[in-house]
Structure formats: structure tokens, C-alpha cells
Structure 1
């Protein structure tokens, strides 16, 4: 009897374990079964993107090694001109007063500023911002390899805030233009000399393309990026992950002077056009109609965007006036190009060759008219617009 009671707890324990395992097996979810009793395959979830094609990039050092040598630091010097009365040059006066002259009459020191630039031709041509070298008495370019050279101004284009300068050095690295294929979401790198600390690389994405009507330049077609851009980055390169030049950094939106993640670069296509025009003609040649346009109005986001722009004024004896365009006319098309905004019209007309005719479709008093206008050449004008270039 004692042996029977000795084995009984173990038998009961084994029965409980077997029962528990059988219950668990019964509770497992079964694969879905089709109505005809055929076992259906498990659901397969496909990824939204093909991650094997992205390469899993964890470093952009290869792109930086290609592009960084072609990005230069630019130092400019401008002599501060202050009023000086002949009396203050008199030896007796200076002997009595010494150097205790009023501050506004002292001989001013040199004012230094800094920026960046991009070598775009092996024979020494460099693209930078016009506001970097404007009114400079001396321009010194410092290369990535440690060499320095004084640069001369070849040509400027204030309307796009671009300038071309040249240095006389050999064996120069060149950054190639990438004229198309840049899309929102693409990773980009900004290379420049922020705050004069030395060449720096920051990373971000293309936040938007075709930004215009910002009041920064006369001709606007900006790439917007969140790559950190700060004072000293002006004229520096915005590159893709392959090391191609997709833009020249020019301006930021900032309330403090530092980066807030909203920076603007001039696209490579515009940079190349300005470079070629300056090298060919010594200036940028653009088409011109001789009209002013109504400012961009805020529209309800729920309303469909209307095409066309309204003429605010017409210059007497200008190309548009000679063709019969009047104040209040709505320009719908130029040739076969449908006009969507003021900047669109300005940029499109600028690309037309002067003295060539274009067909302009307008709307006047709810009637459509087609007029032929012989495009004129736009003269460079000094702009009084307030904008925020990258402070130097």
C-alpha cells in the first residue's frame, strides 16, 4: 500500500503536464482554410520601398572627398572710407591733440568679410555670391589644399546674386554641374566656411524646389534645404550624395542670423546659364518686356490655383507698350508656355533672346487676344529690395 501511494503523485503530475500541453496545442491559431478545405498560404507583407536599392548608406565621405577640394574660402577686404577734414592733417593740430580725434574722423581700418565659392572650371573660374565680393577692394581665395591666390572679378549678376571670379593657379579640382533630376526628399550636403571656422559639411534633404516670390532676388527659382547653412556659407556648394553640384547656397530664413533649417540655393542650371553668359558677353543677357506685375496675392488653399498674371503698369515705348499691351491685361501664355505666377513669367521671358518676337496670349475685358511682342534686353538695375542674404 505504501508503494502505491508513493507512485500516485508522480502519475498525477504526468497526467496534468500531458493535459496542459494538449490544451496549449488546441489553443494555437490555425492557418486560414479555404471553403473547399485547401490550406491557404500565410499573408506576405511587401515593403513600401525596395530597401536593397538604397544601399543602406551610412557615410557620405566619398562624396565629400570628391567635392570638398573644389569648394574654396573667400576673404574680402574693403577700406572703410570716413570723412576727413584738412585741419586734422595739420602737424600742429595733431601735436596738440595727438590721436584723440573724434571716431568719425579717424582713418578707418580694413573691413574683412568672408564667404565661400565653387571652382567650376579647371582654368580658375569660380562661382560665388555677388554679395560676397560686392565693393571689395581685395579678394583672396584659400583652397582646400592650403594654397592661396588673389582673385579678380570677371563679371557679376546682381539679379541672381551670382558672381564669377578667377584665380591664376594650375591643377585645380572642378565640381561638375548636375542640371536635373533633383527631387524633394533627396539627401544633400552643404559645404562652406560658416563663421570662419574652416571648411564644414552639413547634411539634410531637399525640402522643396522651384521656390520663388520670396523677394530675395529678381530672378528666383530656389532649391530649399534643411541642411544647416550659416554666415560664411554664402557662395558655397550644395551637392548630392555623388558629389555633383546641384546649387550654390545664397540665403537663409532666420530671425537670429543662424540656421533654422530653411536655406535657399541657386540651382545649378541657373548657375551654368549665368556663368556661360558672363564668359561669352561679359554680362548676363536677358529678355525684357517693359512691364510691372501685380504682387502675388494670398489665395485660399481650397480654391484651385488660377493661371495668368495681371499687368500693373506698362513702360512707355517699351516692348510691351509697342505691341499694344495695356495696364490691367492678364497674361495667360507666352508662346505655348502657360504662365502660372509672376516669377514664372519673369524667368521665362528672361530666357528669350532680345530682338526676337514672342506670341503673348492675354485676356482683356473677358476677351482673349494674341499679340506679338519683340523682346527687348533688360538692363541691370540696382535693387532696393530688402532681403536676407547670408550675412558675411
Structure 2
């Protein structure tokens, strides 16, 4: 027994000695997803994210848009109807070109580029510039204002498509890099970490499930790539929180998984297709919980039911409390919308509803969410 113990002790000592030598002399050999890969430079080993940037940067493009704007020659009165009337008078306005810039990501070798909807919205001409100097006029395949994504198509050969993080394994604290064209100065890379996941209620989009990062994101970065240390796309840079117009270390990106799903739908159908019940959910506030004699604020209350919609046909009423969807508890209205979105029209869902002090179980056929209409300017 003592002999076995001595052998075990010696083995542990040797292993610890090997681990110490490796961690001191060759730390890059140790596993670690966010450790910068080792790069040999002038005979020294240094930490660098250069391989990840070199892999992803050619896939990030600059997006330039131009649209024709009718500018009044004299100040307009505050009345909107009178404004519209005056704009229609010949000689009252002068047509000018308005330009803007943003970024995009080549996601398929056959020319599909993913960017933000607000980058190309209302544009008459969209130009794309690649890192290798090539330029092309892009065609708008489709846009999804509710997620602020758009898909462009360019006709060029040998396009460098970016790799996706298929496992969607991003964690808070992971190192990320933002690549884009801030302020039009040219392609720029900034580095930070994932500050939070699943950010919503920001009032930016209808569907929000943002990655928050402190990697510097500035005007012009919109539509660019957020990548991991392996050069894989993990998000589409979309918005910043700023009181000055510049980066304050709070940026938001649409996760690559949902973005890829919307990309496929736009390419196949021309628009994003989402599950829909024809009702308007609302969060349960503490006051509503007391009024409905609920023990918690989890769930969603039905604020409106669309006539002849799936919910109306299934008997859902205004004031119903939605407790669970397909056996899983509904946290709030955002949770309900995000879980319904990927469901296909025609599929069945089971809802658990609280009404007048008792629980009902209903089955509803999911419909196709109508196209969002934007108010005319």
C-alpha cells in the first residue's frame, strides 16, 4: 500500500512540474477559448488577435447609400397637411442627394451581404466597397424593420464569406472584436468583452435579444461584424447608448443565430416570417397582479385581440393572463413574442390561461405575422 502511495505522489509531482513548465514557457498550449493566439515576432512570442482579424476582416464591407431628398426652399409651416400640400407645388422644393454610410458582412460566397435596415432604409442607390478595393452596386433582397436587419446582393466573384458561430456558445466575459467603418475613416477593429446577453426593452426594435459589449461601436459601425477570438461572426453591430454620439462603452449587436435565421427567410421568402397569434400582450405590473389576485408578475396579460385572428378563433379574451406556452412558463410579453417568432404558420401551440379565477388550457393554430407597416413621413 505504501509503495502505491509513493508512486501516486511521484506521478502527481511530475505532472505538476510539467504543467508549470508549459504554463511558463508555452502558455498557448493550454486550453482557453479567449486567450489570444501566440504570434511569433522578431523571435518573441506575443499575444495577438491578428489571426482572428485577418480571417474575418475581408468579409466586412463598407456600405454607402444615396437617396434623393426634396428640400424646401423656404421654411415649412408646422401644419403637416399644409406641409404635404406645399411639397407638391412645382418649384417649391429642390431635389438634392443625401448620403450616408454604414457597414455590412458578406455571409455567403454567392454575394449575400447582411447589414442593418436603418443603414439602407429609403436609399435609392446602395454601393458596397470591399477591403480588397473592389466596389459594386448592391441590390436590396429584403429587409426586416422589426429586427433592423436587411439583406443585400452583390455580383462579384471569389467573395470571402465569414464563418458563423454555429454553436452560439457566447458567454458574458468572452472577448469580442467589432469590425466596421466608423465615421467613414475606413475599416477599423476594436476590442472588448461581452457585457451582457439577452438585452431587451431598449425601445430599438420590436424583437430585441441583444448582445451588449464594451467594444467601441461608433456611427458607421452599424451593420458590421462582432466576432469572437476565432474570427467567427457572433453578432451584427446595431446600436449604441450614447449621450454624445460617440461610444461610451455600451454597444448592442444582434446575435448571429437569429440573424442567420432571418437571412435565410429573406432569401427564400423575400421577408422574415414569424409566428403570430393575433393578440397584443402586455407585462403584468404589480398593480395588475393585485387587481387580478395573482401571486407574481410572471406571465403576460392580453391587452387586445385582433378580430378573426388565431387567438380570437381559439376563444382568447382581453384580460386573459397567459401563464405558459407549450408547457413552459411565460415570463413576460417579450418572452412570449420571442418564443412565438420562430414557430411556423399552421403549427399548433398549447396555451395555459388564467381567467376569472380559474385555469384554462387552449390549443391555437399559429398564424403568419403580417408585414410591419411604417408610418409615412
TM-score, normalised via structure 2 length: 0.79
Match of 1:339 in 2: 330
Question: Is residue 353 of structure 2 the alignment partner of residue 362 of structure 1?
Answer: yes
Question: In structure 2, do the counterparts of structure 1 residues 296 and 201 end up closer, same or farther at CA, with 3 Å as the change threshold?
Answer: farther
C-alpha contact 1:294 1:312 (8 A) present in aligned 2:
yes
Match of 2:11 in 1: none
Question: Distance in 2 between the 1:258 and 1:84 partners?
Answer: 32
C-alpha displacement of 1:315: 1.4
C-alpha contact 2:65 2:120 (8 A) present in aligned 1:
yes
Match of 2:52 in 1: 63
Question: Is residue 163 of structure 2 the alignment partner of residue 172 of structure 1?
Answer: no
Match of 1:184 in 2: 172
* Structure 2 unpaired stretches of 5+: 1-15, 37-46, 75-90, 288-294
C-alpha displacement of 1:297: 4.5
Within the candidate set 237, 253, 256, 1:249 is matched to 237
Match of 1:53 in 2: 31
C-alpha contact 2:284 2:297 (8 A) present in aligned 1:
no
Question: In structure 2, do the counterparts of structure 1 residues 220 and 354 end up closer, same or farther at CA, with 3 Å as the change threshold?
Answer: same
> Deviation per CA, 1:242-270, whole angstroms, max 9, x where unpaired?
00000001111111111111111000111
Question: Is residue 243 of structure 2 the alignment partner of residue 265 of structure 1?
Answer: no
Within the candidate set 214, 227, 235, 1:226 is matched to 214
Matches within 5 A, 1:190-229: 190-229=178-217
Question: Distance in 2 between the 1:167 and 1:274 partners?
Answer: 18
Instruction: Tell me the secondary structure at the aligned position of residue 123 of structure 1.
Output: coil
Match of 1:120 in 2: 107
The Cα RMSD (Å) is: 2.4
Question: Distance in 2 between the 1:191 and 1:298 partners?
Answer: 43
Within the candidate set 360, 365, 378, 2:369 is matched to 378
> Deviation per CA, 1:299-331, whole angstroms, max 9, x where unpaired?
9xxxx9743111112112211111111111111
Match of 1:308 in 2: 299
Match of 2:140 in 1: 153
> Deviation per CA, 1:118-168, whole angstroms, max 9, x where unpaired?
000001000000111111010000000011000000011111000000100
Question: In structure 2, do the counterparts of structure 1 residues 70 and 297 end up closer, same or farther at CA, with 3 Å as the change threshold?
Answer: farther
> Deviation per CA, 1:171-194, whole angstroms, max 9, x where unpaired?
110111114110000000000000
Question: Distance in 2 between the 1:372 and 1:335 partners?
Answer: 9
Question: In structure 2, do the counterparts of structure 1 residues 298 and 225 end up closer, same or farther at CA, with 3 Å as the change threshold?
Answer: farther
Within the candidate set 127, 143, 146, 2:130 is matched to 143
| Higher gyration radius (CA) | 1
Q: Larger strand proportion, structure 1 or 2?
A: 2
Question: Is residue 80 of structure 2 the alignment partner of residue 81 of structure 1?
Answer: no
Match of 1:93 in 2: none
Question: Distance in 2 between the 1:287 and 1:106 partners?
Answer: 44
C-alpha displacement of 1:71: 0.1
Q: How many residues align?
A: 316
Question: Distance in 2 between the 1:230 and 1:296 partners?
Answer: 36
